[in-house]
Amino acid sequence: MSSETEIQPVIGVIGGSGLYDIDGLENKEWRRVETPWGETSDELLFGTFEGIKCVFLPRHGRGHPIPPSRLNFRANIDALKRSGVTDILSLSAVGSLKEELPPGRFVLVDQFIDRSFAREKSFFETGCVAHVGMADPVSARLLDVLEAESRKLDIPVTRGGTYIVMEGPQFSTRAESELYRSWGCSVVGMTNMPEAKLAREAEMTYATVAMVTDYDCWHTEHDSVTVEGVVKVMKGNADNARRLVKAVIPVLGQKRPLDLSAERALDFAIITAPEKRDPALVAKLDAVAGRVLNKA
Ligand SMILES: CSC[C@H]1O[C@H](OP(=O)(O)O)[C@H](O)[C@@H]1O
Ligand SMILES: Nc1ncnc2[nH]cnc12
């Protein structure tokens, strides 16, 4: 298949804190999707928007029952892949690590630092080893559209930045917050890794809209982050996120060429010799890696 091959995108939206539904979808249906990795956070919401297929998943489940360390990221990403999703828009509440990124701003991050440690981070295990590239974890094409539509809607937006992923669920200590700032990070959150790594392994394009809710705890003129403070800002952010999602779907849903860095990420990534592969694991990888593993 050449890079000129056109595909019909299916848009997946992962809703973070405060975003447990999306409006404007037609033919809406919540459906459970079975995966070999266990239970997803919730049922997935299938629908169309201006004729474009969309799939929504509330990351923490409706009503927010699941904390960051207990999210089954593998099941969530596998279920989106299995449902035909090609492009993932991840919507996330984050704390700001820079003065110029106040609450209410949307940061279109282009890098991540993964400091999470209590999570399953790969679909590949003993019996089928793969190493995908993560140098550019975010799709510039998705960012272009998110940036252009945010500006049209007058949503305060910053293109570029690093999202540092902490394990949580407690917020950072002041020393941690200062450490992340000294590393040049823009925002801090608890969920985008391993989500972005798994999206790459599953050959889906990925971009995050990091919606600032607070200044974490480093800022001397603002109170340290609390859930109460986050929730107050989240409402306005969620309204803007809904407007933005509605604006980007018709643009992203148009036929487009393959995005090779993501959609062909597994072409040269699997190192385990075919005769050494574990058939049970290969079977589990059907949705994620069937394209390369099941080649004749
Ligand atoms: C409710 S504040 C902390 C919570 O919000 C973020 O989650 P998400 O990315 O799903 O919006 C953050 O990472 C924490 O999980
Ligand atoms: N300050 C913060 N730290 C980690 N996750 C967050 N989500 C929202 N605000 C946050």
CATH code of the domain covering residue 32: 3.40.50.1580
Q: Percent of the chain beyond pLDDT 70?
A: 98
Query: Is position 70 within any domain?
Result: yes
Q: For residue 274, is it within any domain? A: yes
Per-residue confidence band for 221, with pLDDT thresholds at 50, 70 and 90: confident
Query: Cβ < 6 Å from ligand 2: which residues?
Result: 93-95, 171-172, 188-190, 213-214, 216, 225, 230
Task: Tell me the backbone φ, ψ of residue 281, rounded to 5 degrees.
Answer: -70, -40
> Is 2 inside any structural domain?
no
279 located within any domain: yes
What is the distance in angstroms between the CA of the first residue and the CA of the last residue of the chain? 15
- Within 13 A of 86's CA, how many CA atoms are on the CB side? 22
Residue 3 lies in a domain: no
How far apart (Å, rounded) are the C-alpha atoms in residues 61 and 42? 5
Banded model confidence at residue 22, pLDDT cuts 50, 70, 90? confident
Phi and psi dihedrals of 11, rounded to 5? Answer: -95, 125
Let me know if 214 is a catalytic residue: yes
Task: Output the CA 292–ligand 2 centroid distance in Å.
Answer: 38
Residues 52 and 7: beta-carbon distance below 8 Å? no
Q: In the block, which residue shows the tokens 């019996």?
A: 127
At residue 13, does pLDDT exceed 70? yes
To the question of whether residue 59 is assigned a binding role by annotation, the answer is: yes
CA angle 228, 230, 236 (to 5 degrees): 115
Element (H, E) at 194: helix 192-201
Which atom, in ligand 1's list, is nearest to the CA of 90?
9
Tell me the pTM. 0.97
Average pLDDT of the chain to the nearest whole number: 96
How much is the average pLDDT of 235-249?
95
- Structural contact between residues 160 and 110, judged by C-beta atoms closer than 8 angstroms: yes
pLDDT of 2 strictly over 80:
no
In a domain, 1, yes or no: no
Residue-range definition of the domain harbouring residue 66: 8-293
Whole-angstrom Cα distance, residue 233 to residue 93? 10
Say how many domains are in the chain.
1
216 is catalytic: yes
* Alpha carbon distance 285, 276 (integer Å): 15
